[in-house]
Homo-oligomer: A and B are copies of this chain.
Amino acid sequence: MMSCMTHLLDGDQHELDPLERQIVAVFIDGVRVLGLPRSIGEIYGLLFISEVPLSLDDLVLRLHISKGSASQGLRMLKSLGAVREADGGAERRTYYEPAIELKRLVGGFIREQVRPHLESGKAKINRLAETAQEIDDTDRRKFLGERIGRLETWMSSSGKVLPILQKILGQ
């Protein structure tokens, strides 16, 4: 039965209106700062400003992105806890809605993007500290010890700051 069904009256339902474009632009910039791809911002932005949950096909149609992008983008947003599947009626396709509590968004970002790097960083620094023990030159070893110690302090501070951050951003 081809592609009817949406635009009956009510104008071309699948171009973004100016306000939606502005919102999407804000989120494109926003996720960029966090080092996430543009499509993530587009998808989350459109969900954020939509009154009703949207399906993958809605996103493809309205944002002019490929099905692949939409699928991968939704996957990432789900893993970040930034979108959830709307508890659908008897529908076949699944609809998505945004999580809009800052606490949740920050928590997901920290869990998925920050912690893993912190962990692997700490591991590398531990190996480093061992390597430094084996240096013969006493003065050099002392200097290295100081600097590596500082690195460890940095990592520890970063670790401590995360829960505080979450607390503050949870209102």
Chain A 1-32 interface 0/1 with B at a Cβ cutoff of 8 Å (1 = within) = 00000000000000000110011011001100
Contacting residues, chain B, for A121 (C-beta < 8 A):
26, 29-30
Contacting residues, chain B, for A19 (C-beta < 8 A):
128, 131-132, 135, 144
Q: How many copies does the complex hold?
A: 2
Contacting residues, chain B, for A127 (C-beta < 8 A):
22
Of A64-72, A84-92, A152-160, the segment with at least 4 beta carbons within 8 Å of chain B is A152-160
Mark out the residues of chain A between 46 and 72 whose CB falls within 8 Å of any chain B CB in the assembled complex: 48-49, 51
A contact patch SS? helix
How many chain A residues sit at the interface, stated as a range, is 35 or more
- Within the complex, what minimum Cβ distance (angstroms) separates A163 from chain B? 11
| Contact status B165-A161, CB under 8 Å | yes
| Contact status B29-A117, CB under 8 Å | yes
Q: Does A140 contact B (CB under 8 A)?
A: yes
The answer for the CA separation of A117 and B169 in the assembled complex, in Å, is 18
The answer for the CA separation of A108 and B10 in the assembled complex, in Å, is 51
- Within the complex, what minimum Cβ distance (angstroms) separates A130 from chain B? 10
Mark out the residues of chain A between 63 and 116 whose CB falls within 8 Å of any chain B CB in the assembled complex: 100, 102, 114
A: which residues have CB within 8 A of B?
18-19, 22-23, 25-26, 29-30, 33, 35, 48-49, 51, 100, 102, 114, 117, 120-121, 124-125, 127-128, 131-132, 135, 140, 143-144, 147, 150-151, 153-154, 157-158, 160-161, 164-165, 168-169
